[in-house]
């Protein structure tokens, strides 16, 4: 019967599926090759089923009061891609590596510098990854008529890590980072939600085993033994928050004025990782500001000098708050007069309360 249909030029559903799958595999391979040409280091594909495990975890965090509140959208919007695109068929997830090491300035105890975390080195990664996603989107629209595409880097409703995990970019470490076999966890993530069905890749199971170095190293105990995360205790959140937090959390701010790298630094999978593949991600020096400078800057001055960094998005007041506690870490008592001005000034209550604590901490050292 099948031979008879073929003679008559009729293609049955099974044959049509085979043809469509063949086209999808071919397009996938071509897109992978193109991604390499535009500087994307790793790419993966997944389906768009609801992220049920993520939904459970996010609801748990909310119930426990662990949610940072910095994410966009409701839990339903963040875990069900079809609410963003009704006819979505696939995610295209990408990873772009960033450096682990650089030559630091010479520290001066009389006028110490502090650091932005590595994900704020060089130009703002949202722009870098966003431009690469735009190139992929343009390619898709050129090769697939009528395709719908939604791109996202960190600030959208999609959970970059959940999408990357499902797409086989890497496995999820106990510190919640996506760890790639080549680039470790030093990769920026982004994704495209598309209305074309690509063959999905296979997720990678967690490879941490009994290792709990990140759990033990976390200064605020934000990382739980089971690998879940109390976002509100994570120093990445603490150094971005615009509210007065528990004093004990501020006491853990050390050399970083923005973000935290400790759980990545202690991870064995990052031990030999240090890729310098993208010049725009190399630090230029702005990533290591002086405490004295930060404490006296206006927001306009700050944006002019540091506005290209990912870590600048919360404005100068947040970084002044952090710099006050950096001063305590370095026992930099020359900062006391400026901290007093902030404490007694016209700033928001959360900033003045933090200044009060920072002043007392530093004055007693």
| CA–CA separation, 316 and 77 (whole Å) | 31
Active site residue: 41, 124, 154, 261, which one? 154
| CA–CA separation, 149 and 90 (whole Å) | 10
344 carries an active-site annotation? no
Alpha-carbon dihedral sign for residues 52, 54, 55, 59: positive
CB 351 within 8 A of CB 342: yes
- Provide the token pair at 41: 């280091």
| CA–CA separation, 230 and 221 (whole Å) | 8
Residue 40 DSSP code: -
| CA–CA separation, 133 and 44 (whole Å) | 13
- What length does the chain have? 365
- Provide the token pair at 271: 């031990």
CB 204 within 8 A of CB 168: yes
| CA–CA separation, 154 and 124 (whole Å) | 12
| CA–CA separation, 191 and 306 (whole Å) | 27
SS3 149: strand
* β partners of residue 188: 96
The string of DSSP letters for 273-292 reads ------GGGS--STTS-BHH
Region for 171 from its dihedrals, namely left if φ exceeds 0, alpha if ψ lies in -120 to 50, beta otherwise: beta
Kindly state the helix (H) or strand (E) to which residue 45 belongs, with its residue range.
strand 42-46
| CA–CA separation, 61 and 45 (whole Å) | 28
- Provide the token pair at 193: 């939600």
- Provide the token pair at 214: 């990140």
Please list the active-site residues. Answer: 154
């Amino acid at each position: 019967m099948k031979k008879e249909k073929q003679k008559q030029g009729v293609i049955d559903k099974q044959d049509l599926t085979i043809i469509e799958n063949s086209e999808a595999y071919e397009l996938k391979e071509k897109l992978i090759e193109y991604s390499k040409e535009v500087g994307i280091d790793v790419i993966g594909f997944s389906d768009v089923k609801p992220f049920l495990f993520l939904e459970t975890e996010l609801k748990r965090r909310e119930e426990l009061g662990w949610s940072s509140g910095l994410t966009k959208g409701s839990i339903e919007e963040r875990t069900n891609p079809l609410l963003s695109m009704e006819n979505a068929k696939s995610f295209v997830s990408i990873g772009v590596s960033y450096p682990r090491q650089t030559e630091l300035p010479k520290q001066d105890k009389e006028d110490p510098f502090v650091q932005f975390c590595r994900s704020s080195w060089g130009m703002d990664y949202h722009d870098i990854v966003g431009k690469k996603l735009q190139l992929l989107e343009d390619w898709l629209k050129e090769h697939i008529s009528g395709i719908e595409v939604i791109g996202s880097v960190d600030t959208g409703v999609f959970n970059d890590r959940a999408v990357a995990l499902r797409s086989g970019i890497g496995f999820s470490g106990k510190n919640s980072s996506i760890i790639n076999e080549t680039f470790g966890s030093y990769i920026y993530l982004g994704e495209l939600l598309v209305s074309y069905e690509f063959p999905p890749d296979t997720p990678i199971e967690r490879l941490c085993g009994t290792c709990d170095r990140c759990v033990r190293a976390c200064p605020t105990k934000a990382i739980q033994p089971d690998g879940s995360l109390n976002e509100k205790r994570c120093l990445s959140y603490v150094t971005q928050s615009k509210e007065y937090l528990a004093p004990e959390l501020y006491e853990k701010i050390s050399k970083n004025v923005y973000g935290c790298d400790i759980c990545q630094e202690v991870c064995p999978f990052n031990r030999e990782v240090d890729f310098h593949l993208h010049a725009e991600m190399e630090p230029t020096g702005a990533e290591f500001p002086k405490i004295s400078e930060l404490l006296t800057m206006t927001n306009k001055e700050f944006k002019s000098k540091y506005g290209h960094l990912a870590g600048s998005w919360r404005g100068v007041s947040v970084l002044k708050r952090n710099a006050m506690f950096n001063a305590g870490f370095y026992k930099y008592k020359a900062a006391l007069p400026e901290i007093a001005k902030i404490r007694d000034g016209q700033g928001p209550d959360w900033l003045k309360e933090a200044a009060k604590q920072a002043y007392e901490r530093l004055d007693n050292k």
